[in-house]
Amino acid sequence: MIIAPPHFVRVDDVRTTLMLRNLPNGMTSFELKYLIDGMARNMYNFLYLRMDFQTGNNVGYGFVNFDDPDAAVQFAGKWQGLTWIINHTTKVAAVSYATTQGKENQIARFRNSGLRLQPAPNRPKLFVSLFDFAEESMSGRALGEEIPLPHVDNHTKLNRSVMNGRNNGLYSRARRTGQANLMQGLFDNGNPHNPPEFDSIFSFAHQFSAVYNK
């Protein structure tokens, strides 16, 4: 039986975008996608793992958008409480609703962002999901195929995003006031709850070993 975190149990909720917190900093976008596919293959259409471009590691969190609210709740019940076996971390996976909701709003957020100019593994990604597969615009696309972000429609905004990234880096000036916080994201300290509040039917140990033992 899959139990969703209590704050997800709302029959009238229409939110579909989740924030995945307390990720191991050494996890790549490929590994994150592999894990999500093990629980919700072809049921999501957007994925972004936030990266620190100076260290090459992620900053401890990412975002995924599902086809519908039920799929998001089911995934949350599986993901919440995962423990990791890499990077010598004591983090426990946590999940919450993201501030920016929906595929369309994610596209609006990133289509004119300098992040689209980063190497492919570091960019926000769109995928053909089961829901999208039936759309005429997806004709010729394969289920689960990665598709590019829509073309830039505001070059001024793109240029501003690139310049802000060069001047401020990943974090604002206020966040860079001390060596301890130099490369630390909001959710990088891990979840203080140990053992986890919710058990999961998937273990990272199984998934992670499967990636490298093929």
Report domain extents, the chain. 6-212
pLDDT of residue 168: 58
Is pLDDT of 194 > 80?
no
Residue 19: φ, ψ to 5° = -100, 120
* Mean pLDDT, residues 173-192: 39
Position 10 confidence tier, pLDDT thresholds 50, 70, 90: low
3-state secondary structure of 146: strand
The CATH architecture one would assign to domain 6-212 is 2-Layer Sandwich (3.30)
Per the model's pLDDT, the better-predicted residue between 210 and 109 turns out to be 109
Match 């890499």 to its residue by tokens: 86
pLDDT of residue 85: 75
Contact between 143 and 130 (Cβ < 8 Å):
yes
The number of beta carbons lying within 10 Å of the beta carbon of residue 151 is 8
Query: What is the pTM assigned to this prediction?
Result: 0.74
Q: Would you give the DSSP letter of residue 58?
A: E
Is pLDDT of 164 > 70?
yes
Nearest residue to 74 (alpha-carbon basis) of 135, 142, 13, 147: 13
Position 197 confidence tier, pLDDT thresholds 50, 70, 90: very low
Q: Would you give the DSSP letter of residue 134?
A: T
Is pLDDT of 140 > 90?
no
pLDDT of residue 8: 59
